[in-house]
Amino acid sequence: MPLFCDVALAVPLDMVFTYAIPPGMEPVVGGRVLVPFRQQRMSGIVVESHDRPPQVKTKKVIEALDLSPVLDEHLLNLGKWIADYYLAPVGEVFRTMLPLSAEFKRAIACRITDEGRLALHLAGMSGSPARSKRTPEQQLIEFRVLDYLAARESVREESVRGVTRVAKALLNGMVRKKWIAREDVSAARDAARLVKVAVLLDAETAEASPPLDGRGARPSTGIAKKLNGNQRTLIETLAASGGRLPVEALRALDVPRTTLSTLVRRGLIELVDEPQDFTVSVSKLKPRQSPFEFEFSAAQNEALGKIGEGVLSRKFGGLLLHGITGSGKTAVYLACMRQVLEQGRSSILLVPEIGLTPAVAADLHQVFGDEVAILHSGLSDAERAEQWHRIRRGEARVVAGTRSAVFAPVSDLALIIVDEEQDSSYKQEETPRYHARDVAVMRAKMAGAVVVLGSATPSLESYYNAKKNKYALLELPDRVERRPLPEVEIVDMRQEFQETGQEQVISRKLAEEIRERLEKKEQVMVLLNRRGYSPVVLCRACGKTLQCKNCAVSMTHHKRERKMECHYCGHVERIPDKCAHCGSEYVYFVGTGSEKLEELLHGMFPQARIGRLDRDTVRGREDFEHALNALNEGALDMLVGTQMIAKGHDIHGVTLVGVIGADMALGLPDFRAAERTFQLLTQVAGRAGRGQSPGKVVLQTYFQEHYAVQFAARHDFAGFYDKELQFRAWMHYPPYSAIANVLIRSEKLDEALTWSGELGRWFEKTRHEGIRVLGPAAAPITRLKRDYRYHFILKSPSREKMNALLRAMLAEVAARKIPRTQVIVDVDAVWLM
Ligand SMILES: [Zn+2]
Ligand SMILES: [Zn+2]
């Protein structure tokens, strides 16, 4: 029996911690244990058990939480690979991989000490406590707390405060006087989903532990007499159902919510957590047309065949499915996954953040029934945990979900599909900063499975890999039923300015085209990739703009919600009536966002029914789908919005797409700007067309000659790809170079400057052949969420060398006592701002 185990804890430290295993306990590798860490209890993952005594004194494992591993060998190795590749603390990686936080309840308890008992006793003797600076009222509360705790072993702090109404500060004072002690009693919950259940305590129990009302007085006997109508309804309902009912069921009664808490406070009802068997919520959506109703084209059949062969070989294989918009990629995915399921094996489908609408979920349920588990951002922690357990028990062999679904604990994994593999939502922008597409490829390698990356506009990296034969390239070159691609007309907005003499939001050409469609009762979509009403508030007197107080970023005006909002940190301010710098009243709202665009279009086309789709109108995936349904059902004539509208599935009636300022990104200091612009333009253009009529795209731009605009207008992916690769090669950017962004941040400017200066000198001194280090430089957004930001960009054709240098840098960071959380290492950074 091993004596020690190494535990990965979710703390920002690049190490594991050794604990002693008490006799009789058998923690499993890959399972969770509860351990003391500093003043807390934490759950961590056992990565190894051994007999090597550590040099420092070890603490003991408190409890082994799992009988079998929650991370099998594959997932454990995948987690270690992520920690290594992305230079992330392994405990934080495991926490990201396991959506089981709902099973661990953080809790602090209080208990009375011997000193506390003595104080209580003395107070009882003398009638009033000896000299004290505290007011009699405070003393009364203190003794109420002691009185309450004296009759109990250990009580959750929140309960103590709820019952005795003691203020946090007073409780802290009692801890300092050692009258009471606090302890961390965090513990694992049962793996099953827990529900709150109300339990009726009998009147005698309630009397035996005298409840206290707000003033500390004890109620007289005869509790039943004290009940009001609502309270009686609750008590009687509980009594009639054997004294126990889920709180949820009581909520259905026509009784205020506070009634229950009052009864709990009075000691008549107790609330306990009980596990409940999870029932899969049955989709309430009406079934849609089956995705298999149309005939597969030759290209679709070929793709299906190639993927199927790969799966049968039980060896790793990577395929890039490049299918233009509307070419039927989803049908291929579903058919492949069905084949895998028929072989009794498992598959995972990853979709971008907004991709998993209720309609897509309904499709999946229709094809796979109860065999599918769907993981999306709308799930609660408990629901997420329950889905995880279903997958692990083998009840769901088909998993569909966003980024973190790549960690789904399926067994016998045969296939991972990454839909819209270029989508930036696959990159996690917090530690661990993994890219789900790249993790999917690695997981497939480790499992001997097939990975399919699908896209209409593959990322440069993936297409390059396919060209270099790292992936097999599958092309779906035609839209289903050979529907034609839309015609794209470019409108040069500089010329528009010269001819009209003023800055236009909507060009004459686009206005004319919209009018024509509306007259023909056809539908229109207009993209402006910027939400809000006006992006800038400018003072004409001093020239300053209104900036967020936490970020070096302009506040955006939101007219309908009557506020200014920072789109980076969410900070909200009221709309200024004068300049914050000089007090002038000449403040102007400059520029156009999607909210203003909607208003402008209303003004130009008062008869048209216009809907808007952006983060202000869409709170969840239901809202998103609701707007698209309204368009499809003909309840809207026009839909305006941000890039969200480019990502819609199933749009059939739109014959005109207008694009306003889609080239704004081209002005950003980001090497992926051209790629993103090309992708966005191609995607939104793909929404145009109805049946056999090709539809039209009007593209307004200030960068008419830019190759991203030109190639998108010609639907020429290969042309864009060749040109962009030249640029990447010259500039040593991916795919020719691995890249990492090292960000130094601090709320204090001098700290950020000092640390980045120190690291800059360290990089200069260190030999790092074959690695370019740029910086330190102020990050393009110099201040974000209160932090001042400086960064280094590392580029190297050798990923191994680059990671070795980064590892050495982190050791230097530790040696210089720069807090690890203030140094962000972002390997394969997607966002360099
Ligand atoms: Zn001013
Ligand atoms: Zn901000």
- What pLDDT is attached to residue 356? 78
| 783 Cα: distance to centroid of ligand 2 (angstroms) | 9
For residue 271, give both structure tokens. Answer: 């609330």
Q: Select from 801, 798, 818 the least CA-distant residue to 810.
A: 818
> Higher-confidence residue: 490 or 767?
490
Count CA atoms within 13 Å of residue 95 on its CB side.
20
Count CA atoms within 13 Å of residue 560 on its CB side.
11
Least confident of 287-301, 615-629, 645-659: 287-301
- What pLDDT is attached to residue 294? 58
- What pLDDT is attached to residue 212? 44
How far is the C-alpha of 156 from the C-alpha of 62, rounded, in Å? 19
| 746 Cα: distance to centroid of ligand 1 (angstroms) | 29
How far is the C-alpha of 196 from the C-alpha of 649, rounded, in Å? 39
Angle at 345 between CA 341 and CA 350, to 5 degrees: 75
179: pLDDT strictly greater than 70: yes
| 577 Cα: distance to centroid of ligand 1 (angstroms) | 11
> Higher-confidence residue: 216 or 628?
628
Q: Select from 4, 8, 6, 194 the least CA-distant residue to 98.
A: 8
For residue 479, give both structure tokens. Answer: 């839209």
The bound ligand whose nearest atom lies closest to the alpha carbon of 581 is: 1
| 539 Cα: distance to centroid of ligand 1 (angstroms) | 5
| 573 Cα: distance to centroid of ligand 2 (angstroms) | 11
Report whether 247 contacts 271 (CB < 8 A). yes
| 241 Cα: distance to centroid of ligand 2 (angstroms) | 53
What pLDDT digit, counting tens, does each position of 267-282 carry? 888 877 665 543 333 3
**How many C-beta atoms surround the C-beta of residue 170 within 10 A?**
17
| 597 Cα: distance to centroid of ligand 1 (angstroms) | 27
What's the average model confidence in pLDDT over 547-573? 94
- What pLDDT is attached to residue 124? 72
Helix axes 621-632 and 358-368, enclosed angle (nearest 10): 90
Count CA atoms within 13 Å of residue 648 on its CB side.
32
| 786 Cα: distance to centroid of ligand 2 (angstroms) | 8
| 153 Cα: distance to centroid of ligand 2 (angstroms) | 47
The bound ligand whose nearest atom lies closest to the alpha carbon of 585 is: 1
What's the average model confidence in pLDDT over 532-559? 94
From residue 705, alpha-carbon distances to 526, 626, 686 in Å are 22, 38, 21
Residue 670 confidence class, pLDDT cut points 50, 70, 90: confident
| 552 Cα: distance to centroid of ligand 2 (angstroms) | 7
The bound ligand whose nearest atom lies closest to the alpha carbon of 781 is: 2
What's the average model confidence in pLDDT over 225-230? 80
How far is the C-alpha of 46 from the C-alpha of 494, rounded, in Å? 63
Least confident of 258-262, 329-333, 666-670: 666-670
- What pLDDT is attached to residue 81? 97
The bound ligand whose nearest atom lies closest to the alpha carbon of 537 is: 1
Burial group, residue 133, by CB count within 10 angstroms (0-12, 13-18, 19+): exposed
| Selection from 143-147, 283-287, 335-339 with the highest mean pLDDT | 335-339
- What pLDDT is attached to residue 220? 44
Residue 525 confidence class, pLDDT cut points 50, 70, 90: very high
| 566 Cα: distance to centroid of ligand 2 (angstroms) | 5
What pLDDT digit, counting tens, does each position of 436-468 carry? 999 999 999 999 999 999 999 999 999 999 999
The bound ligand whose nearest atom lies closest to the alpha carbon of 551 is: 2
| 572 Cα: distance to centroid of ligand 2 (angstroms) | 9
| 554 Cα: distance to centroid of ligand 2 (angstroms) | 8
For residue 60, give both structure tokens. Answer: 């003991």
| 547 Cα: distance to centroid of ligand 2 (angstroms) | 8
| 585 Cα: distance to centroid of ligand 1 (angstroms) | 8
Q: What percent of the chain is predicted at pLDDT more than 70?
A: 92
Residues whose CB falls within 8 Å of the CB of residue 643, separated by 6 or more in sequence, listed in order? 527, 529, 680, 683, 684
| 567 Cα: distance to centroid of ligand 2 (angstroms) | 7
- What pLDDT is attached to residue 699? 94
What's the average model confidence in pLDDT over 149-160? 85
| 429 Cα: distance to centroid of ligand 2 (angstroms) | 17
| 568 Cα: distance to centroid of ligand 2 (angstroms) | 5
| 563 Cα: distance to centroid of ligand 1 (angstroms) | 19
| 571 Cα: distance to centroid of ligand 2 (angstroms) | 5
Residue 635 confidence class, pLDDT cut points 50, 70, 90: very high
- What pLDDT is attached to residue 195? 67
For residue 393, give both structure tokens. Answer: 């028990």
| 780 Cα: distance to centroid of ligand 1 (angstroms) | 24
| 545 Cα: distance to centroid of ligand 1 (angstroms) | 8
Least confident of 122-126, 425-429, 721-725, 748-752: 122-126
Least confident of 69-83, 306-320, 655-669: 655-669
Q: Select from 774, 787, 785 the least CA-distant residue to 829.
A: 774
Report whether 683 contacts 352 (CB < 8 A). no
Q: Select from 107, 106, 108, 110 the least CA-distant residue to 181.
A: 110
| 750 Cα: distance to centroid of ligand 2 (angstroms) | 20
Q: What is the dihedral of CA 172, 173, 176, 178, to 10 degrees?
A: -100
Give the chain's mean pLDDT: 88
Q: Which residues surround ligand 1, an ion (CB under 5 A)?
A: 539, 541-542, 579, 581-582, 584
- What pLDDT is attached to residue 230? 87
What's the average model confidence in pLDDT over 547-563? 94
| 789 Cα: distance to centroid of ligand 2 (angstroms) | 14
Q: What percent of the chain is predicted at pLDDT more than 90?
A: 59
352: pLDDT strictly greater than 60: yes
What's the average model confidence in pLDDT over 82-96? 96
- What pLDDT is attached to residue 504? 87
The bound ligand whose nearest atom lies closest to the alpha carbon of 588 is: 1
The bound ligand whose nearest atom lies closest to the alpha carbon of 540 is: 1
| 747 Cα: distance to centroid of ligand 2 (angstroms) | 13
Report whether 300 contacts 292 (CB < 8 A). no
> Higher-confidence residue: 51 or 68?
51
How far is the C-alpha of 465 from the C-alpha of 352, rounded, in Å? 21
135: pLDDT strictly greater than 70: yes
For residue 465, give both structure tokens. Answer: 């890999």
| 543 Cα: distance to centroid of ligand 1 (angstroms) | 6
Report whether 733 contacts 671 (CB < 8 A). yes
| 555 Cα: distance to centroid of ligand 2 (angstroms) | 8
The bound ligand whose nearest atom lies closest to the alpha carbon of 565 is: 2
| 551 Cα: distance to centroid of ligand 2 (angstroms) | 4
Residues whose CB falls within 8 Å of the CB of residue 249, separated by 6 or more in sequence, listed in order? none
548: pLDDT strictly greater than 50: yes
| 565 Cα: distance to centroid of ligand 2 (angstroms) | 8
From residue 506, alpha-carbon distances to 48, 616, 704, 827 in Å are 63, 22, 16, 41
| 588 Cα: distance to centroid of ligand 1 (angstroms) | 10
Report whether 527 contacts 662 (CB < 8 A). yes
Angle at 538 between CA 534 and CA 540, to 5 degrees: 140
Helix axes 136-150 and 157-164, enclosed angle (nearest 10): 130
How far is the C-alpha of 712 from the C-alpha of 297, rounded, in Å? 25
345: pLDDT strictly greater than 70: yes
Residue 210 confidence class, pLDDT cut points 50, 70, 90: very low
* SS3 of residue 67 by DSSP: coil
The bound ligand whose nearest atom lies closest to the alpha carbon of 583 is: 1
- What pLDDT is attached to residue 622? 81
How far is the C-alpha of 67 from the C-alpha of 191, rounded, in Å? 12
| 540 Cα: distance to centroid of ligand 1 (angstroms) | 7
The bound ligand whose nearest atom lies closest to the alpha carbon of 543 is: 1
For residue 732, give both structure tokens. Answer: 């040593």
Burial group, residue 493, by CB count within 10 angstroms (0-12, 13-18, 19+): buried
Q: Select from 416, 639, 446 the least CA-distant residue to 526.
A: 639
The bound ligand whose nearest atom lies closest to the alpha carbon of 580 is: 1
| 557 Cα: distance to centroid of ligand 1 (angstroms) | 17
What is the length of the chain? 833
- What pLDDT is attached to residue 649? 65
Fill in the amino acid letter for 504: Q
| 456 Cα: distance to centroid of ligand 2 (angstroms) | 34
126: pLDDT strictly greater than 70: no
Report whether 768 contacts 805 (CB < 8 A). yes
- What pLDDT is attached to residue 370? 87
| 541 Cα: distance to centroid of ligand 1 (angstroms) | 5
Q: Which residues surround ligand 2, an ion (CB under 5 A)?
A: 548, 550-551, 566, 568-569, 571
Least confident of 6-15, 377-386, 768-777: 377-386
Fill in the amino acid letter for 434: Y
The bound ligand whose nearest atom lies closest to the alpha carbon of 545 is: 1
**Paired residues of 199 in beta bridges:** 244, 270
Report how far Cα 362 is from the mean position of its chain's Cα atoms.
22
What's the average model confidence in pLDDT over 670-694? 87
| 95 Cα: distance to centroid of ligand 2 (angstroms) | 28
> Higher-confidence residue: 675 or 293?
675
- What pLDDT is attached to residue 287? 42
Where b means 16+ CB within 10 Å and e means fewer, 664-682 reads bbbeeebbbbbbbbbbbbb
